[in-house]
Amino acid sequence: MADPEPTYLNTLRLIPKLPFLFGPSPIQALPRLTRAISPPTSCDPRITIHAKREDCNSPLAYGGNKVRKLVYLVADAQAHACTALVSVGGIQSNHTRAVTAVAAAAGLQAVTVQERWVPIDPPLYAQTGNILLSRLMGGDVRVGIGEEGGGEEGFGIGHKEATRRVCREVEEKGGKPYYIPAGASDHELGGLGFVDCMVEIAGQERELGIFFDTVIVCSVTGSSHAGLIVGAVAEGRGRKVIGIDASGKPEETKEQVTRIARNTAKLLDPDLEIPDSAIILDDRFHEGVYGVPGPSTIKAMQLAARTDAVITDPVYEGKSMAGMIQLIREGTIGPGSNVLYVHLGGQPALNAYSSYFETESAKDVQ
């Protein structure tokens, strides 16, 4: 007789979610990037690099990691008969674009507070990219409304007063708001999407005949990272999940990742413990500030694009790509490892950062 399924899997399958994903997002081998970072030698087994393409996970507005999380939150909003999704992000927020997308697909209103979290103002920064898509989808996009309450609160992964005011406004107009924190992260259900992602990865490994001993993921608001940690600890195969900080506030991010991971674990299985050793956050690649690319970010973006045509963004994935490249080159990820880079999406923001690439040529970036 087959062994019973683990408690966390049984619980996860009972929690309602909406069908906003294509199904398992693809896993792509990256042979040219692998050769560029980890050239073959006569004695050491090669590292292999694959990408889990969360940027290709949904038909809704370019998908991405936020849609994977929101499938659980929007189901909960519907269960509570809510009429509007209310959330917050920066001007070029992938998250608010995803909130607007799932609201449109579910027949709900979306009200998003777009704050100036990034200390730059390149041409058309507030008119192109993610914010353009949110407007196209009919979202109620509020730029700079934090100033009405005495000034914007600035970048931070915590909860915002401006969203509380918007929720009150929705109620005053007869609606019922469903509040979603930044990144869909610091929410009871925020970590579930990427526990589900790790379950999905394990199934794909069986089909591919490979085990990814090292998983790399960008970490800012923390729930993608936290969910992967919970999934890895729960399956008990010794897989390491390494978060690459892109927040520029790694102490806050690590605290939030830890809290979300442990709360998610308790939700799925009261006996599931997340040890400190499972929570790894490398803080060397955030370039000093959230949302601004530096030289290592741009070089990593170029290398990924010019080897296997993997397009990353300058806010999140460019920084986690830089982290993965360095971890392999310095030997922290050793010979023979099978590395899975979890590509969380974010490419729509590239248009707003075009000035960072205007002078770049096809020079060698390796």
Q: Are 246 and 171 in contact (CB under 8 A)?
A: no
Q: State the CB neighbour count (10 A cutoff) for residue 255.
A: 15
Gap between the Cα atoms of 34 and 48, Å rounded: 6
Pairing state between β 177-180 and 214-219: unpaired
Pairing state between β 140-143 and 109-115: parallel
Q: Is 320 a catalytic residue?
A: no
Gap between the Cα atoms of 160 and 93, Å rounded: 15
Question: What are the tokens at 114?
Answer: 């777009």
Please give the backbone phi and psi of residue 242, each rounded to the nearest 5 degrees, phi first: -110, 120
Gap between the Cα atoms of 241 and 255, Å rounded: 16
CA distances (Å), 26 to each of 22, 161, 258, in order? 10, 38, 28
List the catalytic residue out of 93, 224, 247, 320.
93
Q: At what angle do helices 223-235 and 250-268 cross, to 10 degrees?
A: 50
Q: State the CB neighbour count (10 A cutoff) for residue 352.
A: 26
Pairing state between β 48-53 and 27-29: antiparallel
Question: What are the tokens at 333?
Answer: 């990820």
Gap between the Cα atoms of 332 and 106, Å rounded: 44
- Our CA dihedral for 107, 103, 77, 344, rounded to 10 degrees, sits at 150
Q: E strand or H helix at 103, and its extent?
A: helix 94-106
Please give the backbone phi and psi of residue 272, each rounded to the nearest 5 degrees, phi first: -85, 115
290: left (phi over 0), alpha (psi -120 to 50) or beta: beta
Annotated catalytic sites, by residue?
A: 93
